[in-house]
Copies of this chain bind each other. A is one copy, B any other.
Amino acid sequence: MSVITLKKPVRIISSASVVGRHEHAGPLGGLFDFWDADDAFGMDTWEHAEAEMQRMALTFALNKYGADDRAIDAVFAGDLMNQCTSSSYGLLPFDIPYFGLYGACSTAVEGILLASLLIDGGHFSRIASVVSSHNCTAERQYRTPIEYGSLRAQTSQWTVTGAGAVILADGGDGAKVEKLLPGRTFDLGINDPADMGAAMAPAAADTLSRYFRETGTLPRDVGKIVTGDLGFRGYEMMVELMHREGYDVTNNYTDCGMLIYNREKADVHSGGSGCGCSAVVFASHFLRELNEGRLDSMLLIGTGALMSPLTVAQGDSIPAVAHLAKVVR
């Protein structure tokens, strides 16, 4: 599959982000639509809290667009929970055809890709894409309950408590999705679940270098190159892997996981991660940069590590995938 250029203008007409207190304390804190001081969002369990974040994010996005759920033809949704229950329960109140996705932390961009393709295809006018992650649900499921106080490796990342929603449409105002490149699954044999950046960087470099080769463009031809959640460690690997492919990305490449926390103050080691990381940074920061004219174009690359605690326990290495969307002003 080659780079896809959409036939019609698909615009991101609304977006919203909902985060926890650590994310609010970070450098982008003032840009999110809502933050909750105790990360519980008024709920009795962390899992209910994460579902509530999805409900809130889509509600904010609908409110900003000035429409209710009847205006939306479909929703793509996903999260990191087993059986993606933050999505299925969180979006239950909405009367919208539902497509569940699982792309780990690439899900935000997977949703944008599929929504763009369906709108471009002509049967759908407006599609929402909603994803979430929550630090406490992820820690409980993937590692150990936070109350255990386990030590974290320096390569490990901090799962973002955040839900992001975007609404894409075949008309209206907002940044335009112009080109897409779906990713292939990739496995370079990394098997350390505390080093996701290293597992995902090869997939991101594969997709990004294919994009440059196929379009005959260079990193300098786009305003920003932004990966989802490689973090500081994965960023360095990505720069090195792209260098080996013949591309210098050091001038305009960054990663959402490096932007969301204040690294000096927050104990986040290699940066942020999780489905919510790229979703809230894109929905709050980068879409604003595009819509307010400070950025002309960007390549958003969603990165996902497709393992589970069970596959890690069985000694399998970690496959990853990276989907790319070019979004322009």
Contacts and interface: CB of A to CB of B under 8 A. Distances in A.
Contacts of A306: 83-85, 88-89, 100
A25 interface: no
A184 B98 contact: yes
A95 interface: yes
B310 A82 contact: yes
A308 B182 contact: no
Contact of A98 (B85, B99, B122, B185): B185
A289 interface: no
Contacts of A308: 81-83, 85
Contacts of A104: 83, 100
A131 to B, nearest CB: 12
User: Main SS of the interface on chain A?
Assistant: mixed
A1 B314 contact: no
Copies per complex? 2
Interface in A287-329: 304, 306-311, 314, 316, 319, 321
A126 to B, nearest CB: 10
A282 interface: no
A110 B117 contact: no
Contacts of A314: 45, 47-48
Nearest to A45: B314
Contacts of A185: 88, 91-92, 98
A66 interface: no
Interface string A1-32: 10010010000000000000000000000000
Contact of A97 (B120, B184, B187): B184
A2 to B, nearest CB: 9
A199 to B, nearest CB: 12
A103 B83 CA distance: 8
Contacts of A113: 99
A289 B78 CA distance: 35
Interface in A100-130: 100-104, 110, 113-114, 117-118, 120-124
A164 interface: no
A73 interface: yes
A187 B115 CA distance: 25
B121 A89 contact: no
Q: Which of A83, A85, A98, A123 has the most CB of B within 10 A?
A: A83
Pairs of residues from A and B, 10 with the lowest C-beta to C-beta distance, nearest first? A121-B121, A88-B306, A97-B182, A83-B308, A102-B102, A82-B82, A100-B102, A84-B102, A1-B97, A1-B73
Interface of A: 1, 4, 7, 45, 47-48, 73-74, 78, 80-85, 88-89, 91-92, 95-104, 110, 113-114, 117-118, 120-124, 182-185, 187, 304, 306-311, 314, 316, 319, 321
11 contacts: A47-B310, A48-B314, A78-B102, A88-B307, A88-B319, A92-B319, A97-B183, A99-B103, A114-B114, A117-B118, A121-B121
